[in-house]
Structure 1
Amino acid sequence: MPASLVLRPAARPDLPAVLALLADEERVVDPATVVVGAAYERAFAAIEEDPRNEMLVLVDAAGVVVGCLQATYIPGLGRGGAERALIEAVRVRADRRGDGLGRLLMERAVERARARGCALVQLTSDKRRERAHRFYAELGFARSHDGFKLAL
């Protein structure tokens, strides 16, 4: 990883920047304009306290959060009892795309999963995000399953 970039677990002060990344994929949202409500505070605290969850941020030399993702480590009886990593909420700042940051973010997340002993990394992506699908395929992810969701 270039010395000018740091991948680390998100801290509470990063929450507005993470929410700004999640708010809009197509434009840069100023973290100062993001309202961090009680539900976000509770969710972040739960992620932070859970050893099977981590919100990771990619931070540049100026201290700007330029990317994020959430990794959840799931125990299971399949694959010899090994954990699997579920990666979600992958985002790179709109004005920093094309710089290889997404690749760096994902490669590091996979390395972290491998270091934990995970046997598999899985992710889901909205069917409309065709560019993201090409990106994941370039990283070696295979479309091996169909996913289903039920909104509650």
Structure 2
Amino acid sequence: MIFREATRQDLPAVLALLADEDPVADPAGVVVGAEHERAFAAIEADPRNEMLVLAEGAAGAGGAGEVGEVVLGCLQLTYIPGLGQNGQERALVEAVRVRADRRGAGLGAELMRLAAERARARGCGLVQLTSNKRRTAAHRFYERLGFARSHEGFKLHLEP
């Protein structure tokens, strides 16, 4: 397994994962729009944001997004400075996905472990996330990893 920052070449695979709830979405069929390109470029340019992937490399594969490499999971880490926690940053985890046909094999736990290691190495004192209330299996998964339901989340959708 390869854990690394996503590259532009990974964008179709990441978007396929984000659309992948039950059937595996084929990255070749994903339309990458201008809004996706802008969002990825903003993440890539921001030192407080990382889009990370867990990939499986084919024999001889040597680099990020190389032919033969299959993206199996992804997540976004955003580092948030704050005055709480003695001024330590916190890491916000978003967009956690593992390919539907590879779930249940420990890849999600490995992805989250590696993300927490990355946040710890950066000096973060806390990793936090939100999860849609309908995703009860995801809630059990996060609790097994040691995440506690400590806060109630709220969202306000803004009209353009």
Coarse TM-score class (shorter-chain normalised)? over 0.9
Residues 1:18 and 2:32 are matched in the alignment: no
Identify the residue that residue 82 of structure 2 maps to in structure 1.
76
Secondary structure of the structure 2 residue equivalent to 1:128: coil
Which residue in 2 is equivalent to 1:50?
46
Name 1:33's counterpart in structure 2: 29
Query: Any conservation in 1 of the 2:53–2:74 contact (CA below 8 Å)?
Result: yes
1:139 aligns with 2:135: no
Whole-Å Cα distance in 2 between the matches of residues 142 and 100 of structure 1? 20
The corresponding residue for 1:87 is 93
2:115 match: secondary structure: helix
Quick one: distance in 2 between partners of 1:37 and 1:61? 27
Aligned partner of 1:8 among 4, 7, 13: 4
Residue 26 of structure 1 and its aligned partner are, at CA, apart by: 1.1
- The 2-side partners of 1:60 and 1:24 are apart by 18
The answer to whether the 8 Å contact 2:81/2:90 transfers is yes
What TM-score do the two structures reach when normalised by structure 2? Answer: 0.91
Consecutive unaligned residues of structure 1, counting only runs of 5 or more, are none
Letter of the 2:79 counterpart: Y
What TM-score, normalized by structure 1, do the two folds share?
A: 0.96
CA distance in 2, matches of 1:105, 1:111: 10
Q: Distance in 2 between matches of 1:27 and 1:109?
A: 25
Q: Which runs of 5+ in 2 are unaligned?
A: 59-68
Paired positions, count: 148
After TM superposition, what 4+ stretches of structure 1 lie above 3 angstroms from structure 2? none
